[in-house]
Chains A and B, each alone.
Chain A
Amino acid sequence: MIRWRLAMRLLRRNWQSGEQRILVAALVIAVAASTAIGFFTDRLGRGMANQSADFLGADLALVSPRPVDAAWLDKARTTGLQAIETLEFASVVVSGDELLLASVKAVQDGFPLRGSLRTAPAPFATDTATSTLPLHGEAWVVPRLLTGLGLQLGDTVEVGAQPLTITRVLTFEPGQARNPFGISPRLLMRMADVPATGVVQPGSRLSWQYLFAGREVDVEKFRAWLQPRLGPSHELIGVKEGRLAVGSALERAERYLGLAVLAAIVLAGVAVAMAARRYSERHFDMSAMLRCMGASQRDLLGLYLPQLLVVGLLASAVGCFLGWLAQYGLLYLLSGLLPATPSSPHAWPVLAGFATGMVTLAGFALPPVMRLKDVPPLRVLRRELLPLPNRAWLVYGAALCAIVAVMWRYTDSWPLTLSVLAGGIALTVLLGLLALLLLFLSRRLNTRVGVAWRFGLNNLWRRRRGSVSQILAFGLTLMAMAVVALVRTDLMTTWQRQLPAEAPNHFAINILPERQQEFRAFMETAGIATAQLYPMVRGRLIQINGTAVREAVTKEARSDNALNRELNLTWTTRLQQDNRILSGHWWQPEDTGKAKVSVESKLAERLGIELDDELGFAVGGQRFSATVASIRSVQWDSFRPNFYMVFPPQVIDSFPATYMTSFHLQKDDKSLLRELVARYPAVTVLEMDRVIEQVSRIFRQVTLAVEYVLMFTLLAGFAVLFAVLQASQDERLYEGALLRALGGSRRQLRAGHLAEFAALGGLAGLLAAMGTECLVWMLYSEVLHLEYSFQWRVWVFTPLAGALLVGAAGYRGTRAVVERSPMLLLRNQ
């Protein structure tokens, strides 16, 4: 039977006595963290989709070599989407005697559906977002096209039979091909002008691109409708596929946020468990008394569970509210990244927050509280009688269920959840044993240290069961804190390495071999550092192990871009710094002149190329072959020159080559480009600064978000710290009082306690260092895909931090032992 009034009165009294504060604080932290991140990832996800949509120019794009059935567009429109058509084709554009192969894009009103074009009134002048399109009879072109043909704004070019006046310089276009190298310069014109050009004939190579935009649900609906109707030549690009360099960074950030929240929740869970255990132990007498008065086991549950429920609901409500507030902090930090008018938050993070609160409570607090119903009534006569301890499987089982539930929500993957869990359990058991061993060893040390330390270490050993679980709790706490802090640092260095402040933001291609030296000198005098100059030979991959490449690869791979256009082949002896050799070996001096090649790993995987395969290439009319000597991973989002195929020197250098390089140019130095282009008309400059700027802004913002979330984890860690200390307080108080009554001096006691806690924290820190090393290794290789390296700092700082933190907190906590009169303490016992 549930007695609400009595239960609520007891709850109020308990609250007044401060007994449940840690429990509530821990729960609030768990719920706040999960709600804030829930709100936030919800918005971040939508914000990221928007970003990607801006890059794509649409929410969904369909690429086809032929016009598609008009019914498809109608279907899109009836589904509630905007739909427009664009056409891309390669065409020679003419101005007087000058010819240039251009990549023409014809667009209609409405383009782009997402994001915007950027144009400038003159080459290399400041650009602005532009919402209009070229008018009838006009064209917008990239600077390369102007310099290539020696034209000015206002001049006329002919595309086929149609003359077009160049009215603006195009600097950014959503939907730009993802690999900017080797594309011919862009010319943007109206779709309506296309028929007059006469270039669109049967058999010409065309690419129709259909852009769709609308509400997310409608897009998904249409996508589901369209997918089964697509043929092999169609390519559907959604915002996910369209993600650029920022994709991997944001994905990692998202995972990190998930990880940090998970850590916060588990930590808070441990704190809740500790606090609940203490709560339970402090209510043994009451339970026994109530049993004597005739309360049945169900009566007891009817008294305790409503209290727990109310505490849970209140704490969850407060947590949700705080989480909702905290989310605004995150939104503020990430303002540029998210939609300008944040769509109203969904309600589910609140529900999820409540669920997290209740699950955490059920998993961590219920088992110790359930124990209260098993208190034997005879305890009123024999104080030493305890309820049977919770069956271990119940305690750990409940906690595990809670962790699994929470983890699954954040990882959304059973294999990951279960493997992390299995690892976690194994680690905990191992660490528990280690803790015992450490205690034992430190006791050995005992004879060589001062009195205070001997007292402290002896205390730990005497209570070794409790000590081990405390070391474990502190250790896990410190570990979670260390892991989250460490991963944060590594994420940031990775991002910084990916985009250092001076990252190259311009590429110069088509540098003629004979002007290579001169070009380098030119840049040097201008005070601009250039990266290595890479030779580029344009060639095709035609054979794999003697079989024509189209037959050699799988059906899906047949339409791979790498097969349908010329690749940039290069040679070098120096491995690009973000490349890693996955198998085989990198060029040694003796490889020079040998017919070998190093292949990029993703391409190799798609085409089924393996080590020692024989690849056939065609450059111009000539053919040659090379053996695959290594497979290489490439970080494509590093904005450095990168290549699918890298040869050793003296293999392909007989072929005509041009050179490329990259360099960093400050905004104010942009005028140098004009000079450069004037002096080296053949050289093409690709400006990536706008994209890179955007990417680095995103990185900066995500970094802030990561630090913000780290705070939650640390808070949860501190909650555990206090919960654990408080849990062991009663016993210590009593002992301390006894010692004082027996004549121990304050100084002795203080020093002893300090030593005890410092040892506890230090041992926990040592344990945490081991755990951190294992966990980080696993996380990096399995979840975050980061480079793992041994972290010596962890081994120094974690034990140190543990000793300091636990030492200080414990010392403060047991001050009462020293300050209150021993009489008082003993009497209250």
Chain B
Amino acid sequence: MRTFSSLLLAVVLATLPPAHALWPQPRNLRTGSDKLKLSDDFKIHLEAHVPQDMLDAISRTEDFLKKDHLQRLIVGRGSSDTNALTNAKSLSELDLYLESGADANSITTEAQKPIESRDEAYTLNVPNDGSPANITASSTLGLLRGLTTFTQLWYEVDGTIYAADVPIYTHDSPAYPYRGFMLDTARNFFPVSDIKRTLDAMSLVKMNQFHWHVVDSQSFPLQIPEFMDLSIKGAYSSSSVYTPDDVKDIVAYAGARGIDVLVEIDTPGHTSVISKAYPGHIACPEATPWDIFANEPPAGQLRLASNETTNFAANLLAAVARMFPSTIFSTGGDELNANCYDQDPDTQKSLNETGRTLEQALDVFIKTTHKAIEDLGKTPVVWEEMVLKHNVTLNPNTTVLVWEKSENAKTVAQKGYKLIHAASDFFYLDCGAGSWLGASPDSPNWCDPFKTWQHSYTFNPTANLTDDEAKLVLGGQHLLWTEQSGPSNLDSIVWPRAASSAELFWSGPGGNVSHALERLHDLSFRLQQRGVKSIPLQPLWCALRPGVCDAVPHTSVDGVVQSTSFAYHDDQVLDAGIPRHDEL
């Protein structure tokens, strides 16, 4: 495909940005330079028995193609394409193929499989001669990922929907099986519609895991049939709750979009609000000054040394786990405050009676509560302290969220645990807005500064790890703790930044920031077209002129483009799993 003459041509053509702006970048991609129109009677076909969520995904895709109305991010917004479009062929058919022998499971079923058994690979082929395009995969989940890529090919000018850079061929699959986003719905509440919109956006960038930090010390919005008191007394208001029907709705909505829901009931810390309904189970509830008893107000933790509390926690976790079909469940485990227990007579009494230290009592608590989860066939996911700070017995399959700092991944890996990157120094979306505590003018937030998309994009998931340790990395996620966020800034604080880890963990690390910027602009505009209030990364003037606003611009003084970006526009084929195509 690549010849010397096409290389030369590409250098000359490089004044034009690439017409495709896929996000995440497929792991191998071959593109041409023809235009292709979308026929008015365009249809997507899928032979064989088709699960309902696949049918729905097909009709959503047809909708996106017609309604995105995204104009190309170039000066003139695509008006320069109109000439080429007069001679362009029309595409009237996209055929989906499940490989022979593949199960026609629902997307939901595939998405909810254990992390490492999910099959998200697909092959997409869009010819330039108007003959049918096709997507081939060995699972409906793979077909969904292919459809998602397909929707990102299309632009609109003067009522014509078209793709550029065809023919296009990609064989694509994720570098890492866990690509997530965490939302905290306890510091501030988010209506179901906000969560669904976020799931839509996640699906657009092929994220596959919604980590739902649903409750915390401040509020308990989750209605659990066996424990209704918790939300009745602990939700911010009777309308700030997630009913069992809401949960089903969210889980189904996510599943249909290739997203599994990892719910978290953080224990034994971060549980103050449980004291409203079950005061007997909480030590140091709302004790002041709060900073002696907790990392943030209000103080209050499960009385982990108490048998009754341990059983309560085990029953609670099991009840919640039954509401979620995922094979993973997070029991939390972060920021335990020992002082709270030192000053809790009830805990001290339990410890005296059993002759245990606090750490020994914690071990019993963890073993019991984790067993409740494992008995339901689920794998516990814990915050890093459970491995790094406490001496507790964990199932070797337990998966660890590395959060305090990215360098802790090494120690977690050395202990042999599978890990998810969730480091505050790279992936915390809330950092950088200053302290939210009162009476603290000018104090920085503990995790300042703001984590830019460039910063997370350049993260190396296997830094300092041996080859064996690197195998323990399942992927990673951006996280939004919501002390300073609510529905009013959910979209703007998350998008498009969270897309940077979506690409990092799908396409693999090492991407070029300047090239990514052009595509990220495109994604941000497409998100806006779909109703997500994604924010601009640069003035529109820059977005329309790729490279020109770089610190060291791609273009030189007299306007002749240098060759720094030629490879990006060239036809090329890469083997799956080998470095990204824009590194060549």
**Are A and B physically bound partners?**
no
Interface residues of B (CB under 8 A from A): none
Interface residues of A (CB under 8 A from B): none
